[in-house]
Structure 1
Amino acid sequence: MRRAIALFVLATLVGGTPALAQQRPASPPAQKPAEATAEPEAPAPPYEPQLLSLAELMGSLSYLRTLCGAREAEDWRERMAALLEAEGRSPTRKARLSGAYNRGFRAYAATHRVCGEGSREAAARLAREGEVLARALAGRFGG
């Protein structure tokens, strides 16, 4: 978890503000159906709700930064892939995390069609929230 959270914190600290250029946003990562396993699902870690919130924030930022043409826009998909690699220990867990990312992406895709002041403000607010959440997770559960 520490690596994925560190990626988010670093990204929000050096990500900068979105550019004004407009382009079509990239689609969210494909969500694969959970595969059936013979072993029972391990209990979720105590930080699961915060991690799902972080994944949702990453999806929202992925959409908004791409919409506004930010130079780090494509990095959000890569950060989500890193989060899935670090925390997706089972198909069910990967599905929950990618579902949270996709919810965040779709929520802003439904209301923001062009990059405007509201989109830039929302992206800045989400980045601040994500940074606070990531620091709290790293401080409490990062080991």
Structure 2
Amino acid sequence: MTGRKAIFGHRLAALVVTGLLFTGQGASAQESSSGEPPYEQQLMRLSEIFGALHFLRPLCGKTDTPSWRDRMEDFLDAETLDENRRRRFIERFNQGYRGFSVAYRECTDAARIAMAQYLSEGETIISDVTSRYGR
């Protein structure tokens, strides 16, 4: 990974840990009529991205500390109090992981492209959610 992309990945992790703490604090005041915060689908997608990165990064020889699974745990701790909601996030993480684990056995150009796209999409989601809903 180039220096810019490495910084990008570390920045994404930092935003997850710090930025989403703010969204969790403000969620109850901004919940939709269904009881979910208005950014719920974005966070579900983010969970799926974490799962995909948890599979792809080691496959392509990247050793992230903390791992994407650990980052998901931090996200869950910051964002979920409800056990059902927590399970939905975990299922999306697992879908992201499984989606790539059935398709890739080795790191390919396509896997590297997907990894870069997921890092970018994850950063966009976090930036959007924290700028719109964070305190």
C-alpha offsets along residues 81-140 of structure 1, whole Å, 9 cap, x if unaligned? 001101121110110110110010011111111111111111011111111111111111
Alpha-carbon shift at residue 9 of structure 1 (Å): 6.8
What CA RMSD, in Å, does the superposition of the two structures yield over aligned residues? Answer: 2.0
- Correspondence 1:96 to 2:84: no
Which residue type is aligned with residue 58 of structure 2? T
* CA distance in 2 between partners of 1:48 and 1:89 (Å): 14
Q: Are the counterparts in 1 of residues 57 and 115 from structure 2 also a CA contact under 8 Å?
A: yes
Give the secondary structure class of the aligned counterpart of 2:64.
coil
Among 41, 53, 62, the alignment partner of 1:49 is: 41
Residue in 2 that maps onto 1:111:
103
Q: Are the counterparts in 1 of residues 12 and 122 from structure 2 also a CA contact under 8 Å?
A: no
Which residue type is aligned with residue 108 of structure 2? G
Between the two proteins, the alignment pairs up a number of residues equal to 108
Q: Which 10-residue stretch deviates more, 104-113 or 65-74? A: 65-74
Alpha-carbon shift at residue 11 of structure 1 (Å): 3.6
Alpha-carbon shift at residue 74 of structure 1 (Å): 5.4
Write out the 4+ residue segments of structure 1 that deviate beyond 2 Å after TM superposition: none
* CA distance in 1 between partners of 2:73 and 2:112 (Å): 24
Greater fraction of residues in helix: 2
Residue in 1 that maps onto 2:129:
137
Q: Are the counterparts in 2 of residues 9 and 134 from structure 1 also a CA contact under 8 Å?
A: no
Seq. identity, %: 34
Pair 9,53 (structure 1): closer, same or farther in 2 beyond 3 Å:
farther
Pair 74,68 (structure 1): closer, same or farther in 2 beyond 3 Å:
farther
Pair 9,132 (structure 1): closer, same or farther in 2 beyond 3 Å:
farther
Give TM-score scaled by structure 2 length.
Answer: 0.73
* CA distance in 2 between partners of 1:49 and 1:9 (Å): 23
Residue in 1 that maps onto 2:113:
121
Which residue type is aligned with residue 142 of structure 1? G
Among 60, 71, 85, the alignment partner of 1:68 is: 60
Pair 73,114 (structure 1): closer, same or farther in 2 beyond 3 Å:
farther
Which residue type is aligned with residue 84 of structure 1? L
Q: Structure 2: which 5+ runs fail to align?
A: 1-8, 15-33
Q: Structure 1: which 5+ runs fail to align?
A: 1-7, 14-41
Residue in 2 that maps onto 1:10:
11
